[in-house]
Structure 1
């Protein structure tokens, strides 16, 4: 037999064998990868129409889900609150206005809106525009002098901002900013450093944007190797202004920016408005305060001079899932609880979500939820539970559109481009220390739709290497034999 013909026959045989490799085969190969020796792995892939298991590995084993948990919180929020639900923020004056002088206080009363003053959400007035709006409302009310205070009122959700299970190394950073009744600028500030050219040197702080009055930053940061990325952490407590910065940023010659959590968003909002008024020539006799520091005030006697209404919940859910924003997820959890009549001091409880899941007929016996975002390290459930949930929600098209689409949107925008998965695979990612997970849907060319969950805990390889392996597995879920 001629050599060329023999090569051709072997090629055809290899292609035929490759075409017969099933989703289950790829899952088995993934789970047996030597690079993942010792890792805890739970995988489930099912047909959403029939519920048939297409493939799996230890599918009933519970794992830490990280941010894939946001799928649960957002789905419950869409169902309980409705996709058109909106948050309101009110500006009130309490007192009397005589000859341009307010003898009383100005109150900014939050209604939990996580997008207030957001620098990222389209159509939302940014921080400066919100301050301009409120200053204009105050001067339009004839006020030229405030014989009193500007007060930020975050009592809507109480003081329980960060979830109790969040690590100390997280809560001073932007992704660990707590959820309060009055949130502003997504409760974070930019922190700029001037890079240094030698490993081990201390990169000096340049500034915070915006300025956070009273914030004290002790800089223990060091310069790391070139290309080492952001390894910096801000250590600070809610309502605490004495913060420490540790870790590294890479050497260089430019500016390097990280983001920190605003310690007291309600007070910060009042301070900003107070400064805005003074710059506009409206004097304020007393320092800005928050409801937490002055106690309860009878706002029933107040006059509302501005009401700001947030975008609809569907857009809030989009930002929650597409950008994996923890603040938005925690606000949704608290708003769900509030809608169910839960008392203020228990709004951060996850009981309402678990009750909803149980009422939907989902098996919650081995489910533990400590927050709404997945940042807590003691959340856990199995891949099989997640795919059961995804099957239950398969018909909710508006919610499903909030899940990142491979090659197109959100955290999956830059991945699996030019493959069969582009535009067909929706996947919510999750990552914590030694935790990586993906969950979502695959719309295959054969017309079937699969729900999948891939959860890996306690791995030791580089996180980006595991991410690449998981992306390859998701690609096979889209194209391999069922």
Structure 2
């Protein structure tokens, strides 16, 4: 402890004093005192907090509380999966989706089944399947005399991550992972559809519902009614476990605006194939057989191909919106590319190896998924700051850094999950960080520049609290951004925040 204290004192100007024959003691620096005062909050009674602050250039430790203690990081896990993906897959890597066949085309008829094979694209939209259908029509196919086969075998058949909670399954942040999937809009929440709701024309009338995109896989069971104008909106939309039945209950007040609720899809490869079949029909291509799931023959030839945005471009929606499905798709893709195994164990091994290569002691942490939805993930604040320092040397670092949420910037795809936090403070448009949240967990790690131009990295993780300490995270960020101007660090550490969950679409 004496050696660590001496380092801290040297790093930030503390004074080491020692009398003859006595151990050295350290006079805490003003920065240490300020951070200590923030963390000595009653919300941490019976709970845990770790905070490490380091110089981004030299790596010097400026503050360390429980930096070596393993903690549950929630979405700070994405720092590990995203950086590994940028290195292993590369920022120019693109996913693709293929349409294949083995049979000949005679007089516009494909004699045999048509195969739709996915290679993990988490950004595929209905418009991409429409583009594939147009390519097929332009090639002269007018009729498929066989089945439409959905092939997602590029990844294994394990749909949900290690220890993911069963009661999270209906919600968009816990969608099934498949190599063949579909997102309903440009948030790119793969494996989900949107249920749009509108009040009826009169009180008592059924609530009007629509699926985006239109599909025949999800089955809406609607008992929701239109309430009187000004009444409470009690609408509930939830998919039943193990099925694609979505039950819609409750009430929507007369005159209410259009509502949107994301729901996950059971077996998303069949959802993608259904949307593709509808796109084929719109191009005048009929399918005689059924939609089913199977592997495509090795000898099948490619008739059409769609490619995704690059992994470098994907970092923006992934990190700004903290998209769990992007993290897990990238993990499985890394396993498929680097180890010829599109599985979580293979991909997480690749992630761990990358972290080790940039200075993280991977033997001290456990990665159980790529997103942090798993409650088996354990990392340290030390390991996160090691990663943040180590990746700065990478040729792709600037693109990755720009994709991190930026404090206090209200634009959704700039501020991301930090857009409503630390606004109008020295941290605004300064602090680039990754947020994290689960019940009893909040985390924030990233980069910040002090008032005198010093670049810092930091990692703060809080676990097992009953009252959220998230505002203390913000106060830490503002303190670091405004240091050494101590008069600028007054930041109210309330017990309420405007937006507590990363995955709340209203945030």
Q: Same fold (TM over 0.5)?
A: yes
Aligned position for 1:12: none
Aligned position for 1:187: 191
Aligned position for 2:40: 32
Asked whether the equivalents of residues 169 and 235 of structure 1 are also in contact (C-alpha less than 8 Å), the reply is: no
Is 2:276 the partner of 1:273? yes
Asked whether the equivalents of residues 359 and 390 of structure 2 are also in contact (C-alpha less than 8 Å), the reply is: no
Aligned position for 1:297: 296
Distance in 1 of aligned mates of 2:45 and 2:222: 39
Distance in 2 of aligned mates of 1:391 and 1:222: 55
Aligned position for 2:425: 419
Aligned position for 2:68: 60
Q: Paired residues, what number?
A: 438
Asked whether the equivalents of residues 169 and 234 of structure 1 are also in contact (C-alpha less than 8 Å), the reply is: no
Cα pair distance change 1:35/1:249, threshold 3 Å: farther
Which residue of 423, 434, 439 corresponds with 2:440?
A: 434
Q: Deviations over 1:296-349 (max 9, x none)?
A: 33141x332222222111011222111111111111111111222143455565
Distance in 2 of aligned mates of 1:265 and 1:308: 18
Which residue of 102, 105, 108 corresponds with 2:116?
A: 108
Cα pair distance change 1:345/1:319, threshold 3 Å: closer
Is 2:63 the partner of 1:75? no
* RMSD across aligned positions (CA): 3.2
Asked whether the equivalents of residues 202 and 220 of structure 1 are also in contact (C-alpha less than 8 Å), the reply is: no
Cα pair distance change 1:233/1:144, threshold 3 Å: closer
Aligned position for 1:445: 451
Which residue of 389, 392, 404 corresponds with 1:394?
A: 392
Aligned counterparts, 1:17-166, within 5 A: 22-117=30-125, 127=126, 129-166=127-164
Q: Deviations over 1:37-63 (max 9, x none)?
A: 222111111112222221232222221
Q: Scaled by the length of structure 2, what TM-score is found?
A: 0.78
Distance in 2 of aligned mates of 1:474 and 1:100: 63
Q: Deviations over 1:251-284 (max 9, x none)?
A: 7852432211122222112112222333443322
Q: Scaled by the length of structure 1, what TM-score is found?
A: 0.82
**Higher relative CO (CA 8 A, sep ≥ 6), structure 1 or 2?**
1
Cα pair distance change 1:205/1:413, threshold 3 Å: same
Aligned position for 1:353: 351
Asked whether the equivalents of residues 27 and 57 of structure 1 are also in contact (C-alpha less than 8 Å), the reply is: no
Unaligned 5+ runs, structure 1? 1-19, 118-126
The range that moved more, 267-276 or 409-418, is 409-418
Distance in 2 of aligned mates of 1:426 and 1:227: 41
Distance in 2 of aligned mates of 1:231 and 1:383: 41
Cα pair distance change 1:336/1:86, threshold 3 Å: same
Unaligned 5+ runs, structure 2? 1-27, 184-189, 486-507
SS at match of 2:166: coil
Which residue of 317, 322, 325 corresponds with 1:324?
A: 322
Cα pair distance change 1:138/1:74, threshold 3 Å: same
Aligned position for 2:11: none
